[in-house]
Amino acid sequence: MSPAPAVQIMPPEKPVPMVSAPQQQPPLAPEPETPFKVEVQDLNVYFRANHAIRHVTLGVKPQTVLAVIGPSGCGKSTFIRALNRMHDLVPGARVEGRVFVDGEDLYARGIDPVLLRRRVGMVFQRPNPFPTMSIYENVAAGLTLNGIGGNHAEIVEHCLRQAALWDEVKDRLRHAGTSLSGGQQQRLCIARALAVEPEVLLMDEPASALDPIATAKIEELIHELKEKYTIVIVTHSMQQAARVSDNTAFFYLGELIEMGPTAQIFTNPRERRTEDYVTGKFG
């Protein structure tokens, strides 16, 4: 990992966006002008009376990977699901605050969450291929279900190659998606998410159900996908966060405790609680 550039960290109470620069930039030239791809301002999520996300403010630059870490139940999934309005369908869930993608507020009135979700794709903790569909149909699902035309065969091959699955499945595209191994299924789900050409990819512990080899493949994949996509990944593994991300956000009890370049979070955190967590004192 190359050392990431310095960033300004704001205390979470103040709704001022944090700045993070792309990784490959020379350290001394932070570019404050680069607009955020995803920007969150004073985000709150409630499940009935449970205040699960508290006043979170942060920003993610284009073509970077943000890792979200924190102990179980601290609200990582809740946070990431707020970024493509997955809470809309949860009875009793309430979201307050703003989430901008390319400067457009997702929670503004009149925004169609359906159109939004095409721009913000999601990969889940457990692989969830559609059981009634073949491998091919799974990848093309976003296109067929949305009635998008085009050369599906070509798109399917491209996405499967991007997800590093093509060589393993090219001879059995008509087999059930669920006939693959767990790791292959997860890559299939990534290919499925890529087929609708999102700009942002949300990944909620994509490797937690996988063995080390499959995990390594997924991590490699994230590295490659970064060229094109902005990625937010939730992970339980500190090593994984260190390996794949440019920036890391540490959540604790629904609050964003600290966010900064990954190297700094792991080697020189500002907050005591972050240090305790990354050094394994709790969690």
Query: Is there binding between residue 263 and ligand ATP (CB under 6 A)?
Result: no
Q: Please enumerate in sequence order all residues whose Cβ is within 8 A of that of 76, keeping only pairs 6 or more positions apart, or say none.
A: 68, 69, 70, 204, 234, 251
Query: Is there binding between residue 185 and another protein (CB under 8 A)?
Result: no
Query: Is there binding between residue 48 and another protein (CB under 8 A)?
Result: no
Q: Which stretch binds another protein (CB under 8 A): 56-64, 129-137, 255-263, 275-283?
A: 129-137
Number of residues that bind Mg ion (CB under 5 A): 1
Q: CA 277, CA 266: separation in Å to the nearest integer?
A: 10
**Cβ 98 vs Cβ 107: under 8 Å:** yes
**Cβ 99 vs Cβ 271: under 8 Å:** no
Q: Which two tokens stand for residue 26?
A: 């020379």
Residue 17, number of CB atoms within 10 A of its CB = 17
Nearer to ligand ATP, 82 or 143 (CB): 82
Instruction: Classify residue 133 by its DSSP letter.
Output: S
Q: Which does 157 bind (CB under 5 to 8 A by kind): another protein, ligand ATP, Mg ion, none?
A: none
Query: Is there binding between residue 182 and ligand ATP (CB under 6 A)?
Result: no
**Cβ 201 vs Cβ 64: under 8 Å:** no
Q: Is the dihedral of CA 208, 211, 217, 223 positive or negative?
A: positive
Using CB under 8 A, which of 7, 9, 10, 111 touches another protein?
111
Q: How far is the CB of 58 from another protein (least distance, A)?
A: 18
Tell me which residues touch ligand ATP (CB under 6 A). 47, 50, 52, 70, 72-78, 90
Tell me which residues touch another protein (CB under 8 A). 84-89, 91, 93-98, 104-105, 107-119, 121-122, 124, 126, 128, 130-134, 141-142, 145-146, 172, 174-176, 178-179, 189, 192-193, 196
